[in-house]
Chain A
């Protein structure tokens, strides 16, 4: 528990606690104009290496993606202009459209459930006295987050297989008729992949929300108790409003992970059965390398990037209000 109450400096390092734009760069009073300008331009040197790497390996490729999206190119031979064909295909080819749909369904599993369960877990852990159990709970819940997603995919593929643990448990409790190959089932494959997302994200959300709860003024809880609030109303009156910024960070992070999922799907289902678990990330990879439709892949990639921005924007706004 101790590590949860972060020192004040740390708190300021938190993105949630970033001072508003009012804290503009320092207005230093420098008497001599020329020195000031020289120093002013020299400041660019500090930014140059980091921004340079970012420009070369992120900004420039992003622009290239935009460029590629207007071409028909197999990635090796010459390219021919394709106009808006690649863009139209995103909205007319059912597989591409479905992959985007699936990404949104995954938000339920990557975001809604972990945040919900994380709130429950964090409120319960808060009530515990600091000690072995509370530390263990936090550490154990967090473990899935530090493992490579590839490992999560492998572990759960085995859990869901015909001989795996999920079916073994069902058989043990007499639900034999409900056993199935979960990842090969048209109805359950996508939710099954989603549960892997819950597994990975739950610890992250719990710990972050727990940190947020630690920052809530204890006096608020006391006041609520004096008002005769029960555990439930205390949660809605004090805990939830106090966690707004943490909730925004949790939601943002997990939504990006849901919309841009790749590792788990590539390992566990490769998009199958049928196109049931196909997501934009896997589709982009396949379009580029297997199908060699680099233009189509790039259009989908730019679309995905824009989609993430559009989804994240209102949530960020929500976090800023009041």
Chain B
């Protein structure tokens, strides 16, 4: 090591290297800009009779038993198709998805949470021909809006369809029925102010008002809900999610929402170690009775019902003003077909199957905790009366009518969640950033991600 400095030649070498680098810089890295999507090929709705192994890549955790069960159902119907479920944890999969799909060992169906650059880089197959062939285009179209992408590869909500899923996630607030009774909650709060009073009462009663996972982004849910409640409208957020030109959340509603959430943190309504609680510890603590309220999604419902049937209720996040609109975040558990998959027809058949088969739809509710997608007249799966699952399903129907379903801000760009929303919300809760700076920073990161 020490002889590093003995070599004056090294300096010369570095200089030569730098010169070489400059020469290298003359030719740009990267793919060919002309490489567009291949000509759309004939699609088929059959699965053939050749033995096929359909590779599914999903998130670790509840996804695994759920998609394994769906795969077995599919195999029971088409015995030449074997569904193989592989999994990677959420953070790893969202980090590497673009490179997995561009690589040489691609799955046939992949769980896509954020579309990011996947469309621009032609990594997913357009589902338009399949939608036509299977008649998905005759179903309620709102369920497909979030995975439609325009020709620029960025703006969502319009254009070609790139992913579809078995069911929908839905956020709201779970409550521990016994503890809620103790603080005198007789009905779900109608406004944010009412909710805040309940939180204060819980605090006074010596209870932990809210259980939430701040480590991996659970605290972003109430924040987005507060943004929509204080705006009394979700259009701005939806435009932002869909990357419409000029969309911005650097506005009064976000500042007000961030102020409220920060106040909740300072008042001790959130756990003291909120930034260290992750998405598996939060429900475990909530089940143990640590927390009156737990803002989260319907994917938690089967676990809560299993731990204590009938003990946990669910309501939609309250409106800003009495009688105002309620909003919830929703996203389909989207699966996309990678452009390089050799079995796109079989993959599409699987997508159609999970949305239409009655047994699959039942599993979607029971195992996945999700509200099943599909045609308007499909048989509704059942859930036991009084269960958390039943409560989330009925809330979804309600919002479908009132147009209150909005996508997750976390899915707006590939990295907005991990790089901005999670750390910025942590800073906010720790009092290390101001609500104004919060709104401005998330917006500027968003614009950088979109290259604006």
A-B contact pairs, 9 of them (CB 8 A): A71-B28, A73-B30, A76-B102, A77-B30, A77-B33, A184-B273, A272-B422, A316-B1, A319-B2
Partner-contacting stretch, out of B117-125, B301-309, B356-364: B117-125
* A74 contacts chain B at the CB level, 8 A cutoff: yes
- Smallest distance from the beta carbon of B100 to chain A beta carbons, Å? 10
* B344 contacts chain A at the CB level, 8 A cutoff: no
* A21 contacts chain B at the CB level, 8 A cutoff: yes
The SS class assigned to the B binding surface is: helix
Partner-contacting stretch, out of A12-20, A110-118, A222-230: A12-20
Chain A residues proximal to chain B, CB less than 8 Å: 15-16, 18, 20-21, 59, 62-64, 66-68, 70-81, 161-162, 180-181, 183-186, 245, 248-249, 252, 270-275, 286, 289-292, 294, 312-313, 316-317, 319-320
* B98 contacts chain A at the CB level, 8 A cutoff: yes
Contacts of B30 in A (CB 8 A): 71, 73, 75-79
Q: What is the total number of residues of chain B having a CB less than 8 Å from a CB of chain A?
A: 51
**Alpha-carbon distance between A316 and B432 when the two chains are bound, in angstroms:** 40
Q: Are A290 and B415 in contact (CB under 8 A)?
A: yes
Quick one: closest B residue to A294, CB to CB? B29
B17-56 vs A: 1/0 string, CB under 8 Å?
1101100110011111100000000000000000000000
- Smallest distance from the beta carbon of B122 to chain A beta carbons, Å? 9
Contacts of A248 in B (CB 8 A): 1-2
**Alpha-carbon distance between A320 and B6 when the two chains are bound, in angstroms:** 9
**Alpha-carbon distance between A64 and B29 when the two chains are bound, in angstroms:** 9
Q: Are B273 and A76 in contact (CB under 8 A)?
A: no
**Alpha-carbon distance between A100 and B376 when the two chains are bound, in angstroms:** 55
Looking at A161, A249, A274, the one whose CB has the most chain B CB atoms below 10 A away is A274
**Alpha-carbon distance between A71 and B21 when the two chains are bound, in angstroms:** 13
- Smallest distance from the beta carbon of A59 to chain B beta carbons, Å? 7
Per the 8 Å Cβ criterion, residues 372-392 of B in contact with A are none
- Smallest distance from the beta carbon of B272 to chain A beta carbons, Å? 8
* B186 contacts chain A at the CB level, 8 A cutoff: no
**Alpha-carbon distance between A245 and B4 when the two chains are bound, in angstroms:** 14
B188-212 vs A: 1/0 string, CB under 8 Å?
0000000000000000000000000
**Alpha-carbon distance between A21 and B427 when the two chains are bound, in angstroms:** 54
**Alpha-carbon distance between A291 and B117 when the two chains are bound, in angstroms:** 9
* B449 contacts chain A at the CB level, 8 A cutoff: yes
Partner-contacting stretch, out of B89-97, B227-235, B259-267, B330-338: B89-97
Q: Given contacts A66-B18, A291-B414, could you give 18 more A-B pairs where the C-beta distance is less than 8 Å?
A: A66-B24, A67-B29, A71-B28, A71-B30, A181-B276, A185-B273, A185-B276, A186-B430, A248-B2, A271-B423, A272-B215, A273-B215, A273-B423, A274-B430, A286-B95, A289-B95, A294-B29, A317-B5
Q: Are A181 and B117 in contact (CB under 8 A)?
A: no
**Alpha-carbon distance between A313 and B11 when the two chains are bound, in angstroms:** 12
Q: Are B17 and A68 in contact (CB under 8 A)?
A: no
Quick one: closest B residue to A182, CB to CB? B276
Contacts of B96 in A (CB 8 A): 289
Q: Are A79 and B2 in contact (CB under 8 A)?
A: no
Q: Are A15 and B2 in contact (CB under 8 A)?
A: yes
Contacts of A183 in B (CB 8 A): 276
Q: Are A75 and B98 in contact (CB under 8 A)?
A: yes
Contacts of B422 in A (CB 8 A): 272
Q: Are A273 and B28 in contact (CB under 8 A)?
A: no
- Smallest distance from the beta carbon of A24 to chain B beta carbons, Å? 11
Quick one: closest B residue to A291, CB to CB? B415
- Smallest distance from the beta carbon of A184 to chain B beta carbons, Å? 3
Per the 8 Å Cβ criterion, residues 104-130 of B in contact with A are 116-117, 120-121, 123
Q: Are A77 and B28 in contact (CB under 8 A)?
A: no
- Smallest distance from the beta carbon of B382 to chain A beta carbons, Å? 39
Q: Are A290 and B121 in contact (CB under 8 A)?
A: no
* B419 contacts chain A at the CB level, 8 A cutoff: yes
Q: Are B28 and A78 in contact (CB under 8 A)?
A: yes
Contacts of A72 in B (CB 8 A): 451
**Alpha-carbon distance between A16 and B276 when the two chains are bound, in angstroms:** 45
